[in-house]
Structure 1
């Protein structure tokens, strides 16, 4: 019988380690939107959008692959760890060496010929981050949430200190004369300060996971057959991750290049508010995903998957209503007013991200059945829809930035529907009552958000009534969950 108290405790600790850096990032969001022009903020988000797509490729699905092979009896845990790390190290090193030689060419074709140092810094960020994937996964799977969270918190504090120091130097004549400031300023500009701080933070992450490598990594434990099996399992997941990266970032990349930097700056800033939903999804995933794999061989596994997914949807919708009900407050405190023109995308993107979160939970079935290729096929459907809404509709409806937002919504919604009907035949069998309740919750939540938009003065009252009704409707389940 799974210890829910332990599961919840670990999830809370993971949440602290995950939320604290994100809270700092949201604090910097206000700082950046005040400090940067829309065009500069567009450049800042574009660099991260491009890098996320590369990281999705280089990860090769090795985190999920590591979780999966760890619970197979064919190999020892040390063999799985060492083999997975060597695979990741080889892939990441090849990328770094190749990219450094092609820096000027890549900078030129992406429109950054005057700032090739941006790409050089990001190549190192990507390298450091990807080779830390397996050691960080080891912390999760070995129930070490405190160490995991501590590393994340230390990294964000280092990054924050460097950013504030470099920005502060601009206003302080004495600090401008320091060697550190002169050195950094010799090869990059104000936007590059953020990337430089991120690079140092990623390097510190590598140093912090060294103790794990010293204890667990052994070259002699590398297993060629295991490596081949891990790659075969991980490549379809990698393709799905790349597809996800395209779904998440194609809109910002194309809006910048097909419409304008100004509109992309506003769109990207408001998009970050919509990613509040991703915080909830990621927190849930950090604590629950290793449990899913551990539970996979138990006779009652499907029951727990269904129950946890139901609870995830319930709290996701509550989170959605509370954020949408207070959008104006979040916008006021987190984004400078000149970026508010794209506020209409937030509810649409948030619901799309909730669809993605549900999809992620349900996707456990094809990972456990060792058929990650199913996820690849479904993700490609999502990419096709995303491309249609972004590339085609942006050309037709030039300044309607809401079109890419609906593309995200429909893309993730379609992926969820396809996965549900596919999985229903092969793995889970949600009972009719649960499906009926889920549909009711969705419709009720959307109705409340619609009322709040029409009657903004009654926002707090409507949110309070919503919470009361949800508690009455799900009283038994919520009480059992608390117990």
Structure 2
């Protein structure tokens, strides 16, 4: 049973990890080529765009997976309905945004860079349109095609970025095309323009699938209403997640300085190493979860896989955070290291988010996504509270929003624990083992950082930790 699951997860992991590795390569590239203030603009635009994408997605990706798991619905009708619904929503809001651009750039403080928003409107439009066709590939176990499309897009974006930045640095190209680019944007805008072209190419690659599978005749109004009713609570949860992830960077830029926000944002991206692990796990596991939702032993699979997720997540945490003083030099320039202390905190917060995501499957399969909305709103309130404290405290310590990220996601796990306790009886019997592993991992990282152990001592401690985890837990799953 696990063999196919592992193969699918590995392929999805390649499709996710390769673009992310390229992005981390560019993290070093950007922190070298861009001033800290320019890097702050770059991260701020993406922070703002994620809030919009969370809204426009309307939770239709999760809704699509849920509806195709129900036998009473025709899968082709579900797909056509979802895609056309997504196209209508996205097009409608694109028009509104374009007519409101003067007000948007004024409110956000970008009146001198209107072109940033024109490019991002198109990026958001293309990316949102591609969500469901890419979900269709996952649902139909076309992992290889999914991975190839992702790799093609990141290669296109990478080539364009390198071309623009290298040309700018060497100043050896004076042709019409290069002058045209520089006539409406700057160095930071090169990144956005490259992303826009890459997002457009993604649309072109999935267009044959849409033309083949999507027709207006297959649009079903009743199913569309049901999908919206199911998806809107998920959308609210997604918006809550976007606020949790981006509010701190948006406020630090506007309340402190671009220099502080640039350093904070760069180190925050190092913390998102954990998201590589979470994303690959989610891409391979989520469709499997929904397929198994009707099995008599479905809960058993959820519990076992989630427990494994926590174990491997903690291993990942120890290996990264235990060596962060060595790793960080490879990814960001030294002038950004002033915010290195946020990395273990935010990274643990991301692990809590991953645990929450896996456990939240229970309210999705019982068709009660509103539970996730309530819990996500609790997380948002905690995030807002910490950011209000950050704004009000005189010294404006940027560590406060970082602790807010961990507190927010940690609280969501705790609330979900009590809410779903009856649904995962066997899993919650392991809660003390989970807490033990959590404290062990955190203690090990703290020891290595506080005492600044030498590399050979760190490696020895990490090896002992891996042997301990394998002997007491992981081997049991191998020999089942």
Q: Give TM-score scaled by structure 1 length.
A: 0.97
Deviation at 1:394?
Answer: 3.0
Give the stretch that moved more between structures: 327-336 or 430-439. Answer: 430-439
Distance in 1, matches of 2:427 and 2:49, equals 41
The question of whether the paired residues in 2 share the 8 Å contact of 1:394 and 1:400 is answered with no
Deviation at 1:478?
Answer: 4.5
SS at match of 2:430: helix
Query: Any unmatched runs of 5+ in structure 1?
Result: none
SS at match of 2:112: coil
Which residue is 2:473 aligned to? Answer: 474
Deviation at 1:397?
Answer: 4.6
Which residue is 2:3 aligned to? Answer: 5
Give the stretch that moved more between structures: 439-448 or 147-156. Answer: 439-448
How well do the aligned residues superpose, as a CA RMSD in angstroms?
1.2
SS at match of 2:73: coil
**Equivalent residues in 2 for 1:15-414 (5 A)?**
15-175=13-173, 177-414=174-411
Distance in 1, matches of 2:405 and 2:428, equals 28
Q: Which of these residues, 11, 14, 25, is aligned with residue 12 of structure 2?
A: 14
Distance in 1, matches of 2:366 and 2:32, equals 49
Query: Any unmatched runs of 5+ in structure 2?
Result: none
Taking structure 1 as reference, are residues 433 and 75 closer, same or farther at Cα in structure 2, changes over 3 Å only?
closer
Give the stretch that moved more between structures: 230-239 or 207-216. Answer: 207-216
Distance in 1, matches of 2:47 and 2:178, equals 27
Taking structure 1 as reference, are residues 116 and 305 closer, same or farther at Cα in structure 2, changes over 3 Å only?
same
Distance in 1, matches of 2:233 and 2:349, equals 23
The question of whether the paired residues in 1 share the 8 Å contact of 2:303 and 2:427 is answered with no
Deviation at 1:431?
Answer: 4.9
The question of whether the paired residues in 2 share the 8 Å contact of 1:325 and 1:460 is answered with no
Taking structure 1 as reference, are residues 475 and 214 closer, same or farther at Cα in structure 2, changes over 3 Å only?
closer
Deviation at 1:73?
Answer: 2.3
The question of whether the paired residues in 2 share the 8 Å contact of 1:296 and 1:368 is answered with yes
Q: Deviations over 1:56-113 (max 9, x none)?
A: 0000000000000112122211100000001100011011111111112211110000
Distance in 1, matches of 2:166 and 2:175, equals 12
SS at match of 1:24: helix
Distance in 2, matches of 1:381 and 1:67, equals 26
Deviation at 1:464?
Answer: 1.2
Q: Give TM-score scaled by structure 2 length.
A: 0.98
SS at match of 1:299: coil
Give the stretch that moved more between structures: 466-475 or 222-231. Answer: 466-475
Distance in 2, matches of 1:432 and 1:210, equals 45
Distance in 2, matches of 1:145 and 1:285, equals 13
